[in-house]
Amino acid sequence: MRKQKLAALLLLITTVLVSCKELEVKNLPYSIGGVDELVVVLNSVDSTDDLFNAIDSYLGATYSNTPQPEFRFGVTYVDVATYESTFSKHRNLVFIGDLEGSTNFTKFVRELIGEETYGKIRASKTSFYLPLNDIWARPQYAETIVANDRDLLLADIDNIMTGLVDRISKRELAKIRNNQFIPGHNVQVEQMLEKEHKIAMDIPKDFTLLDTEGENFLFLRKSTIDLTASIMIYYEPYVDSMQLNPVYLLHLRDSLGAEYESSRVQGSFAQTEYRVPRSHDTITVNDMYCLESRGLWRLVNDFMGGPFINYWIYDEANKRMMYIDAYVYAPDMRKRPQVRQLEAVISTFGKRSLGD
């Protein structure tokens, strides 16, 4: 399972955190760059290079479970000279390379980290991960990942990139979540969820509660001229571990979709799209066991559909299983940003902030 594999991989990384030399920074300009965008600085940008291809296989990968392929990140690869002249104010920076030879990359990193740290890296046989914040702009996150020589870096590259992708994804999800709540919270719905259903969850102001029947079912929706985003919430008593499997989860998803989701076309109802692969991972949501599923949905007897993400959470405190399904219909928009926004909302389950 993805998160478990990630934890195991991170344990294998020999990563050393070192302190960089003091840089005087005053009156920093605001950083630039959108959500899930990053600039990767290399010694040289060469599509035939083994190191470049290893990095790009992770950062340039496609995002899972969208109708058309979309990239996971918006990545710009540059060399040191291009970076210094154009990209130093970017919000997300990643410097990756070895320190062999007197290259522009080596000179830049040596100046950045100072002679003492540079000497430690040159004398070591491990990869070094150096996190830096607010160096040339603010807010800014710069990750420097280096090794004494190229072979050491390539030997560790899978572990390095797995950790890097996880850190960036979590950090950007927090940024998306903050953006979601700039207009405010739907405090009335949040308070009702907590008081009547013991559900602690942040709800953006532009989501409204639909009028549906069911003591243990709630339906939230945001509608604009461009998209419809929906969140279904359902819960049932925890009985046994047979509930904790993808087959049960998708059966539940289809049952709720058939009952509560349709269009103006008579006889239409929502169903999981089984003609394309789905993904299932075991994760934790605010320290609770969760089965996460991603895939596509469609309306039977109509021509609507899109991506979904759902959580099947073991709420041990209330001895129940929580089902939170988020999906979007946005025919003329990229789907990855919309799914990421929904993920940012549903991942607040169990740890609600104070709505304003």
217 Ramachandran zone, left/alpha/beta (phi>0; psi -120 to 50): beta
Rg (CA), the chain: 23
| Of residues 307, 304, 280, the one with CA closest to residue 296 | 307
Out of 19-23, 41-45, 208-212, pick the least confident: 19-23
Measured CA to CA, the distance from residue 224 to residue 346 in angstroms comes to 20
Q: Quickly state the pLDDT bin for 4 (edges 50, 70, 90).
A: very low
- The stretch 117-146 carries a mean pLDDT of 93
- The stretch 196-218 carries a mean pLDDT of 93
The reported pTM is 0.88
Model confidence at 6: pLDDT above 60: no
Reading the block at residue 25, the tokens are 């920074």
Q: What b/e sequence results for 114-141 when a residue is b if at least 16 CB atoms lie within 10 Å of its CB, and e otherwise?
A: eeebbeebeeeeebbbbebeebbbeebb
Out of 102-111, 143-152, 211-220, 347-356, pick the least confident: 347-356
Instruction: Let me know if 155 is exposed, middle or buried by CB neighbors in 10 A (0-12, 13-18, 19+).
Output: middle
What are the CA-CA distances from residue 229 to residues 174, 221, 244, 294 (Å)? 19, 6, 26, 15
Give the pLDDT of residue 139. 94
Model confidence at 104: pLDDT above 80: yes
More confident residue, 18 or 259: 259
Reading the block at residue 199, the tokens are 């559900």
| Bridge partner list, 204 | 185
Give the pLDDT of residue 84. 87
Mean pLDDT of the chain: 90
- The stretch 50-64 carries a mean pLDDT of 94
Model confidence at 92: pLDDT above 90: yes
More confident residue, 19 or 239: 239
What are the CA-CA distances from residue 20 to residues 120, 133, 143 (Å)? 12, 11, 12
- The stretch 160-182 carries a mean pLDDT of 96
Model confidence at 25: pLDDT above 60: no
- The stretch 104-129 carries a mean pLDDT of 92
Give the pLDDT of residue 128. 92
Measured CA to CA, the distance from residue 336 to residue 351 in angstroms comes to 24
Give the pLDDT of residue 214. 81
Model confidence at 17: pLDDT above 80: no
Q: Quickly state the pLDDT bin for 153 (edges 50, 70, 90).
A: very high
Residues with Cβ within 8 Å of residue 77, at least 6 apart in sequence: 40, 42, 45, 52, 56
Percentage above 90 pLDDT, the chain: 86
Model confidence at 22: pLDDT above 80: no
Give the pLDDT of residue 353. 62
Out of 25-29, 42-46, 244-248, pick the least confident: 25-29
Model confidence at 5: pLDDT above 70: no
The three state secondary structure string of the chain is: CHHHHHHHHHHHCCEECCCCCCCCCCCCCECECCCCEEEEEECCCCCCCHHHHHHHHHHCCECCCCCCCCECCEEEEEEHHHHHHHHCCECEEEEEEECCCCCHHHHHHHHHHCHHHHHHHHCCCCEEEEEEECCCCECCEEEEEEECCHHHHHHCHHHHHHHHHHHHHHHHHHHHHHHHCCCCECHHHHHHHHHHHCCCCCCECCCEECCCCCCCEEEEEEECCCCEEEEEEEEEECCCHHHCCHHHHHHHHHHHHHHHCCCCCCCCEEEECCCCCCEEEEEEECCEEEEEEEEEEEEECCCCEEEEEEEEEEEHHHCEEEEEEEEEECCCCCCHHHHHHHHHHHCCCCCCCCCC
Model confidence at 2: pLDDT above 70: no
Domains observed in the chain: 2-179 (3.30.379), 183-346 (3.40.1000)
